Structure 1
Amino acid sequence: MHTRRHDIDWLRTLAFGLLILYHVGMYYVYEWDFHLKSDDQYIWLQDVMIMSNQWRMSLLFFISAMALALVRQRYSGWRLAGLRTRRLMIPLLFGMAVIVPPQLYVELIYGIGYEGSYSAFMREYFNLDTSLAPHKQSAIGLLTWNHLWFLPYLWLYSLFALLASTWLSLVAKWLNKLPATLLMVVLVSVMAGIWFALRNDYPSTHALIGDWYNHGKYLLAFVAGYLLASMPAIWEKVIRHRRWFVAFSVVGYSLIVLDRHGYLALDEATYQLWYVRYFIGILLALNLWGWILMLVGYAGRYLRSGSTLLSYFNRAILPYYIFHQTLIILLAVALMPLKLHAGIEALLIIVLTCVGCALGYEVIKRIPIVSGLFGLSFWPRRKPTKNAAECKHQPLTDSVAK
């Protein structure tokens, strides 16, 4: 019998919430490239953001795969493939056409001094032969998915897992009998190997095609999450030994920060030694898996109960994700003239982004067709009135008489 794992629901909600904080931080962090940058930028913010920078998206793929594996126990692969396609690809295409363009428009205004109207920009945005902003173009011109890149990657990995679900189930049964320590060694070694082999030659692009380092890292996280959901004995060990993962996380993060500040600096000749680079990959992999498994462990220990709030976010999380980055950028532009202190401004952006996402969700979930463009049902069901609910359990003649 299938039992819903509320800890995975909570973890998914918290992980998407972290995206709002992270993307607001991108507006203020020193040097790191973003669509719009504040005049107030802080170097110290890099150390704060690097804490989640290494693992936050891998965590999303990991828990998305766990959720998929749990749902796979109740639905056929074909039905899930159809649901995933509808819930991910339709919002992606709609988002690229409607939600994402304001981000690029603002970026061009503040980046290259673009002076055209929004309607003029949109004509260029959909013109595959446009000459506007060549540095922002790809094979499809200015069309872009920006923060929505997660959706096509998740769709692709989901189809892979569903096609290979029988094989993955067999692998999970076999792995579930192995020592947890050995599985951790394998996870760390493989992730380190991906970093060693692909990181330098294939820098992150989020372009789907040719983004081999990201595919290696995120697909491994996805497969690991899918397998863990089918390995109850190992999952319980992750929960039981969660404090060990805290240690991995703290040590990994500390070493990364020390290295960023030059305390672990290596000369170029030493860095090029293969075993030195692979050892660095091991440290990064320990940090990544330490954070992911620590969060899974603590969620499994303390977040096993559902709530009305969690039910709300289970429905609302995808529209929140679609809305959030465009809202952040538009709010930052709107607050610029006020010259607020960065701390006050950032807090306002966070609060107003959450309010905007909530209002957006409340509006779109009530509108047929539009709701489906955000990954919800195309035909929202209206809640029955009190009288209708009472009539539901009464004979037809009684309800007609009323």
Structure 2
Amino acid sequence: MVRRHDIDALRVFAFALLILYHASGVYETNSDFHIVSSYQYDWVEWVRIVVNRWRMPLLFAISGIAIGLYQPTRGPLRFAGNRTWRLLLPLVFGMLFIVPIQSYCEAVRNGAVPAGFVHFMQRYLQIKPWPDGGWSGASHGVTWNHLWYLAYLWLYTLVLLILLPLLESGIGKRLQAWLANRSLVWMIVIPTALFFGYLMLLKPLFPETHALVGDWFLHAEYFSVLLFGYLISRQQDFWQRVTRWRWKMLLVALLGIAVELGLRAMGRGLLLPDDVPEWLTVLPWGGIERAGRALYMWTALLAIFGWGHAWLNRPYGWLPYATEAVYPWYILHQSLIVLLAYWLIPLKLGGGIESTLVIGGTIAGCLLLHELVIRRVGFLRPLFGLKRKRNSNLARSTTAPVSAL
């Protein structure tokens, strides 16, 4: 397998961003997060939009690149079995023993169940629907909350493996070379048009659910970027071009998000004056907003890859350890956020202090649980997506482990 330091580093930064993003859900005005603070801020929504447009496409694209660098054609069945084990085992374990922390806090805060985690877990592990359970997923009796990514990634990986004979055929190789040699304009226009089509045709019919079944808008968007990641993973011409274009991509991305945020603000009456010209009232603002969104998502993705390749493609000393830590931190972080917010919200410490403690406590909890427990206890390692240790030496290795994410 070919290792790419910039891809490993981008994966670390993208998952680290999830802590800030999910913690911000506690403080967003009109938030639908599992637990919400009494301290809410309008500006948080705008920041979340800026980040949300590319954060999950980035993770799926990185996963596609990682699969391409691994070159699973040398053993597709073995690769499928390994990915199934490393994705579904942590998913099931997390749904049964990590995510319930969030469900319990949410249900108690909603007044749906009495305080008492042991009693809640005894009922939760029966995996039966909860009438009026008061927590996300109660009607199913079990939920995966933020771990939905593992189920989606597993499904997309299997679909990609089925497509391998076509992708590695002569036609597939020509497609990869064609993608790597597009001009700047075509590299922007073609994918933006594709993602714009998804927004216009699929999103109104299939709202985002993260329920796997019937989530066709997200499947189209996420599998497309994963497939793109696979196709360009070994195309050096592409990486040279995207690195050279990184400033231009950044500027176009800023234009795209300015269009989306500007039109959203207009729709809320923040920028649209009362005496607006009549021609402005008949333009298809929804379509223009979606075009800005598609343009921003795609060019932000390319800009991140360009800047990452320019700045991060080197063997940083912290990278092997951080690459290993990504999976356990991902599994733990949202349950820690919800638990800390559940404890801290009643104390009325003030928005600044409370949010700092939630974020800082989450980082500290992930660090301590990973370093002192998960990576040192053999049977826990696969439950959190880590490979078993072949020896008792826990020193940091010089070669980053292959991540399943």
TM-score normalized with structure 1 length: 0.88
For 1:196-243, what per-residue CA distance to the aligned partner results, in whole angstroms no more than 9, with x for missing partners? Answer: 111111111000001111111111111111112132212211111011
**Of 315, 318, 323, the match for 2:327:** 318
Partner of 1:64, secondary structure, is: helix
1:226 alignment counterpart: 230
In 1, distance between residues paired with 2:394 and 2:141? 45
For 1:69-115, what per-residue CA distance to the aligned partner results, in whole angstroms no more than 9, with x for missing partners? Answer: 11126852222212211111100000000000010111111123421
Point out the more displaced range, 131-140 or 162-171.
Answer: 131-140
In 1, distance between residues paired with 2:93 and 2:293? 36
1:14 alignment counterpart: 13
Contact persistence 2:72–2:79 (CA under 8 A): no
Contact persistence 1:89–1:151 (CA under 8 A): yes
2:376 alignment counterpart: 366
For 1:259-284, what per-residue CA distance to the aligned partner results, in whole angstroms no more than 9, with x for missing partners? Answer: 22223799xxx9998x7654443221
1:96 alignment counterpart: 95
Q: Which amino acid aligns with 1:216?
A: A
In 2, distance between residues paired with 1:306 and 1:75? 26
Give the Å deviation of 1:164.
1.4
Partner of 1:164, secondary structure, is: helix
Contact persistence 2:76–2:161 (CA under 8 A): yes
Question: Where in structure 1 are there 5+ consecutive unaligned residues?
Answer: 386-402
Point out the more displaced range, 171-180 or 118-127.
Answer: 171-180
- Residues 58 and 114 of structure 1: CA distance in aligned 2, closer, same or farther (over 3 Å): same
Contact persistence 1:7–1:300 (CA under 8 A): yes
Point out the more displaced range, 48-57 or 117-126.
Answer: 117-126
Give the Å deviation of 1:7.
0.5
Contact persistence 2:247–2:303 (CA under 8 A): yes
- Residues 190 and 309 of structure 1: CA distance in aligned 2, closer, same or farther (over 3 Å): same
Give the Å deviation of 1:133.
2.5
Q: Does 1:36 align with 2:40?
A: no
- Residues 181 and 258 of structure 1: CA distance in aligned 2, closer, same or farther (over 3 Å): closer
Q: Which amino acid aligns with 1:197?
A: L
- Residues 110 and 140 of structure 1: CA distance in aligned 2, closer, same or farther (over 3 Å): closer
Question: Where in structure 2 are there 5+ consecutive unaligned residues?
Answer: 396-405
2:358 alignment counterpart: 349
In 2, distance between residues paired with 1:174 and 1:373? 41
Contact persistence 1:258–1:264 (CA under 8 A): no
In 1, distance between residues paired with 2:208 and 2:282? 21
2:262 alignment counterpart: 258
Q: Which amino acid aligns with 1:98?
A: F
2:25 alignment counterpart: 26
Contact persistence 2:128–2:142 (CA under 8 A): no
Give the Å deviation of 1:301.
0.4
In 2, distance between residues paired with 1:301 and 1:138? 43
Q: Does 1:298 align with 2:307?
A: yes
Q: Does 1:288 align with 2:297?
A: yes
Q: What is the total number of aligned residue pairs between the two structures? A: 382
1:175 alignment counterpart: 179
Partner of 2:258, secondary structure, is: helix
Contact persistence 2:62–2:229 (CA under 8 A): yes
1:216 alignment counterpart: 220
In 2, distance between residues paired with 1:125 and 1:132? 12
1:388 alignment counterpart: none
- Residues 278 and 307 of structure 1: CA distance in aligned 2, closer, same or farther (over 3 Å): same
Contact persistence 1:72–1:80 (CA under 8 A): no
1:69 alignment counterpart: 68
Contact persistence 2:259–2:289 (CA under 8 A): no
Partner of 2:318, secondary structure, is: helix
In 2, distance between residues paired with 1:384 and 1:207? 38
Q: Which amino acid aligns with 2:322?
A: F
- Residues 167 and 119 of structure 1: CA distance in aligned 2, closer, same or farther (over 3 Å): same
Contact persistence 2:99–2:144 (CA under 8 A): yes
In 2, distance between residues paired with 1:38 and 1:135? 17
Structure of higher CA gyration radius: 1
Partner of 2:37, secondary structure, is: coil
Give the Å deviation of 1:181.
2.9
Contact persistence 1:128–1:140 (CA under 8 A): no
1:196 alignment counterpart: 200
2:387 alignment counterpart: 377
For 1:40-189, list aligned pairs within 5 A: 40-72=39-71, 75-133=74-132, 136=135, 141-169=140-168, 170=172, 171-189=175-193
Give the Å deviation of 1:13.
0.5
Point out the more displaced range, 103-112 or 373-382.
Answer: 373-382
Contact persistence 1:203–1:211 (CA under 8 A): yes
In 2, distance between residues paired with 1:23 and 1:334? 17
- Residues 139 and 340 of structure 1: CA distance in aligned 2, closer, same or farther (over 3 Å): closer
For 1:277-298, what per-residue CA distance to the aligned partner results, in whole angstroms no more than 9, with x for missing partners? Answer: 5444322111101211111110
Contact persistence 1:24–1:349 (CA under 8 A): yes
Give the Å deviation of 1:379.
4.7
- Residues 124 and 183 of structure 1: CA distance in aligned 2, closer, same or farther (over 3 Å): same
